[in-house]
Structure 1
Amino acid sequence: MPLLAIVYFSISGTTEQLAHAIARGATGMAEIALCRIAGDDIVSGRFRNERLLETIDRAGAVAFGSPTYMGGPTAQFKAFADASSDRWSRQRWADKIAGGFTTGACASGDQLHTLTYFSILAAQHGMLWCGLDIPGGEDPAGRNRLGSQLGLATHLIEGALPESDLVTAEYLGRRLARIAGRHS
């Protein structure tokens, strides 16, 4: 069974809700490692959590997650990404399956830029990107509500994540686990 590492930063708990929904979706199909980037992981602006990086080394699939702030991932997530350069130079994460998820304050809050950032990070590492294969706005279950094929993009409605976004996150978890299982 492949290991799915869900690497994320969350401030208000919304991105963490998505991470847990991704984990639920992959349950029974993959081992799950919830890898929350914490403020204590960043010392003098540098990410310093070797154990988290080693978890990704062992994973067959990785889901990257961050809120979208000012048109991109948070500084905390970016510090993690910058610290992955050692792995990049040795291509330690090459051929792993990767996907991404983000949430923003507005429906058109530049979440696509955050997902693009994640996909470029994955490409630099030689990872294989896994987007959503659900046509936006056409799914009977309401999944992929915002219509992003690159990954899961969400926003709050009246202060909460819609259930359809959590169901989409579960779907992304199943998809990552299924593809990682085929790939291993």
Structure 2
Amino acid sequence: MANIAVVYHSGGGNTAVLAEAIGNGAASVPGAKVSLQRITSQQINAKLRWEDEGIAKELQQADGIIFGCPTLMGMVSTPFKAFMEAAFMPWAKQAWKDKFAGGFTNSASINGDKTNTQIQLLVFAAQMGMLWVPMGDHPGNNWSGGSESDMNRLGAFLGPMSQPRASVAEEAAHSADLQTGFRYGQRFASIVSHWTREGTHVTDRMFDAATAAAIKAQAQKAAK
């Protein structure tokens, strides 16, 4: 069984709609178990650190994690950035190494520098030692025979994008973007299912030496 987690932040609800479409696509793959984990500002403590033991446990158990957030000022949203920074210990332990990863985003503008957000998600996944699954579909709506209803109409390559216009309610999200998300969820879960079903690869994990030394030094200082 492939265990897939879709972890996302959604401010106005539009990212949540895309997350659900991706989750539904992943769940349509036989044997895939899918959970949606929502990041909220309420999970950020007084020290401005994100923490939620339940979500952290779900991500640790997942074979693949799809990250998502809105693009705000050309980058990931603040709550999601706090979540990324809180992944320090999984990074130090290489706890997510060789898990599959993907990413999605949305903004009201057709461009909106959404690719920059996806690059941030990609770099985060790379630092965590994860294996990125790209969109996998050709761009749509880019020739005389294309249309707004094309799959991948926004021409994304790293992962699904959506353009919910600022004046339109979330339930009016563009159907082509949701279909693109659904298809990506299917692709992601299918790849993860194949990997978990076959092969004998064993992940080699090592705790970060610099972090271990810093923890040791802090412990020694505290003991004095």
Q: What band does the TM-score fall into relative to the shorter chain?
A: over 0.9
Return the match for 2:121 from 115, 118, 122: 118
Q: Which has the larger radius of gyration?
A: 2
Q: What's 1:25 paired with?
A: 25
Q: What's 1:154 paired with?
A: 162
User: Which deviates the most, 156-165 or 22-31?
Assistant: 156-165
Letter in 1 for 2:42: D
Q: Is the 8 A contact 2:50 2:83 kept in 1?
A: yes
Q: Deviations over 1:67-118 (max 9, x none)?
A: 0001111010000000001000111001111111100120110100110011
Q: What's 1:39 paired with?
A: 41
Provide the C-alpha distance between the structure 2 equivalents of 1:135 and 1:23, rounded to a whole number of angstroms. 21
* Count, aligned residues: 184
Instruction: Tell me the secondary structure at the aligned position of residue 42 of structure 2.
Output: helix
Q: Deviations over 1:27-49 (max 9, x none)?
A: 14211111001221111211011
Q: What's 1:6 paired with?
A: 6
Q: What's 1:76 paired with?
A: 79
Provide the C-alpha distance between the structure 2 equivalents of 1:133 and 1:48, rounded to a whole number of angstroms. 33
Return the match for 1:132 from 131, 135, 139: 135
The share of aligned pairs that are identical, in percent, is: 37
**TM, length-normalised to structure 2:** 0.79
Instruction: Tell me the secondary structure at the aligned position of residue 37 of structure 2.
Output: strand
1:179 aligns with 2:191: yes
Gaps of 5+ in 2: 197-224
1:142 aligns with 2:150: yes
Q: What's 1:99 paired with?
A: 102
**TM, length-normalised to structure 1:** 0.95
Provide the C-alpha distance between the structure 2 equivalents of 1:16 and 1:28, rounded to a whole number of angstroms. 18
Instruction: Tell me the secondary structure at the aligned position of residue 33 of structure 1.
Output: strand
Letter in 1 for 2:183: Y
The Cα of 1:182 is off from its aligned counterpart by 1.1
Q: Deviations over 1:127-158 (max 9, x none)?
A: 00011111102689611111110111221246
User: Which deviates the most, 27-36 or 82-91?
Assistant: 27-36
Gaps of 5+ in 1: none
